[in-house]
Amino acid sequence: MTTTSGHDSIPQPLLVLSEDEQLFRDNIRKFAEESIRPLVREMDERGSLDHSLIEQFHQLGFMGIEIPEHYGGGNGTFFEAILAVEEVSRVDPSVGVMVDVQNTLVNNALLRWGTEAQKQQYLPKMAGEWVGSYALSEAGSGSDAFALQTRAEDKGDHWQLNGRKLWITNGKESNLFIVMATVDPAARYKGITAFIVEKDFPGFVVGKKEDKLGIRASSTTELILDECRVPKENLLGEVGKGYKIAIETLNEGRIGIGAQMLGLAQGAWECAARYAQERKQFGQTLTHFQAISFQLAQMATEITALRLMVYNAARMKDAGVPFVKEAAMAKLFSSQVAERVASQAVEIFGGYGFTKDYPVEKFFRDSKIGSIYEGTTNMQLMTIAKLILG
């Protein structure tokens, strides 16, 4: 797919950004280098995000990119949100996933299915001060998301939610949660319903934080809903239509994960290429050895191919054309490229790459999550197979 300018119909290559997109990307890259990079190792070791970054994200408009201006947002495109996730993840994928979940899942769900009253109440907060989470997964419903057991009961003047959610990104920092519950477990997907839950609602508790292999600064928590009281007006969409919200939101979210893994791969490659140009063995830099230079060339080729896939899927979403297959392919390929490139980067560093003194070790740990969350590798393959084989 190609894009066209607003003045003519001359096809424009996917990797060529408009002046506005270039400026947007450059500003985010500058911020990531100056404000995020100095904190990466400390946040990883501590296992938590530096809260000063969240305030800066809101001030710079990172947390409401697609939200219209009249709600306090940036009135940007989905593609710009993808650029933001990529550039932040190039420095720290742990931070990138916060920007991703906020824009591609939470804000997206509110924009598409929220009532006008809900938009007026919540979108300015999401753009200006709040962090959001998307709560679908449970202990017994991972890939089989529609087997969830969290119950929603209509109590007349409010909804009552009971259950537990697991692996909720941004859980520690979030003020608002898009929670999926079922009005009837026997109805399977036809009972699933979406709710807007604030962290201060009675009966809602953020549980334990997971101790993870990678993206450690990103909080991943349990949610406990014990007779959680949710106002009637906080129903998102229609009763029994939560499956549609879940599926369609995650389709877009997968492009976001593709962008996160793309940024990770780019960051790991840059570290490896820089090291190979500086490190000397046998009287010459590593790049003079064909084995290393060819390896870097292969990594760069795969990253470029991945960037084309991610950008194409994002452009298709903005153009309003079907993109589910392209999103699944981008998410699948991104996890493979990120893991492969990060692993090769560790090898290029040799013994140094196996230590925490250099960033490739962290990139390698962070890469593994790409094949797991927002749809495992096998779930992406199943989706792609269905769409290409009819």
Catalytic residues: 374
Between strands 132-135 and 3-4, the pairing is unpaired
Between strands 176-182 and 3-4, the pairing is unpaired
Q: Which residue has the tokens 């692996």?
A: 167
In eight-state DSSP terms, residue 171 is: T
> How far apart, in whole angstroms, are the C-alpha atoms of residue 251 and residue 299?
27
Which stretches within the chain are classed as H helix? 19-31, 40-46, 51-60, 78-91, 93-100, 108-113, 116-128, 242-278, 290-319, 324-349, 360-367, 377-389
> How far apart, in whole angstroms, are the C-alpha atoms of residue 266 and residue 334?
11
Please check whether residue 90 is in contact with residue 266, taking contact to mean a CB–CB distance below 8 angstroms. yes
> How far apart, in whole angstroms, are the C-alpha atoms of residue 284 and residue 302?
27
> How far apart, in whole angstroms, are the C-alpha atoms of residue 41 and residue 55?
20
In eight-state DSSP terms, residue 47 is: T
Q: Find all residues with CB under 8 Å of 282, minimum gap 6, and list them.
A: none
Look at residues 124, 311, 158, 154 and name the one whose alpha carbon lies nearest to residue 234.
158
Please check whether residue 183 is in contact with residue 159, taking contact to mean a CB–CB distance below 8 angstroms. no
> How far apart, in whole angstroms, are the C-alpha atoms of residue 220 and residue 169?
5
DSSP for 226-257, written as a single string: EEEEEEGGGEES-TT-HHHHHHHHHHHHHHHH
Spell 67-95 as b/e; 16+ CB within 10 A means b. beeebbbbebbbbbbbbbbbbbbbbbbbb
